[in-house]
């Protein structure tokens, strides 16, 4: 049994309204998220992920090995061949 907040009459647990005064016994939802809330939440989540990415990258930088230029010539501009799309050709 639940009590009416208006008149304190005893009502059944499933009652939609008070049997004595007719007050609505169903509670509205306390909070409903809006699109602005969703946008702010996603912005915070993405910002945290980006900051964590750069922090981990900075933390792991001493453990990343540098490859020599003779193994990776494309990374250092020493290709050794002329491309069909090369404007200096």
Find the length of the chain: 89
Instruction: State yes or no: pLDDT of 66 exceeds 70.
Output: yes
Cβ atoms of 7 and 21 within 8 Å: the answer is: yes
Both tokens of 56, joined, read 């981990």
Instruction: State yes or no: pLDDT of 83 exceeds 70.
Output: no
Please state the domain extents for the chain. Answer: 2-28+38-64
Q: What is the pTM of this model?
A: 0.48
Q: What would the pLDDT profile of 9-23 be if each residue is shown by its tens digit?
A: 998 888 888 988 988
Q: What would the pLDDT profile of 18-56 be if each residue is shown by its tens digit?
A: 988 988 888 777 888 999 999 999 999 999 999 999 999
């Amino acid at each position: 049994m639940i009590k009416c907040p208006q008149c304190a009459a005893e009502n059944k647990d499933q009652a939609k309204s008070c049997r004595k005064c007719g007050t609505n016994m169903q509670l509205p939802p306390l909070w409903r998220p809006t699109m602005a809330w969703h946008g702010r939440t996603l912005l915070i989540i993405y910002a945290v992920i980006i900051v964590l990415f750069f922090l981990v990258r900075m933390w792991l930088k001493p453990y990343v090995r540098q490859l020599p230029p003779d193994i990776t010539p494309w990374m250092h501009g020493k290709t050794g061949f002329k491309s069909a799309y090369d404007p200096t050709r």
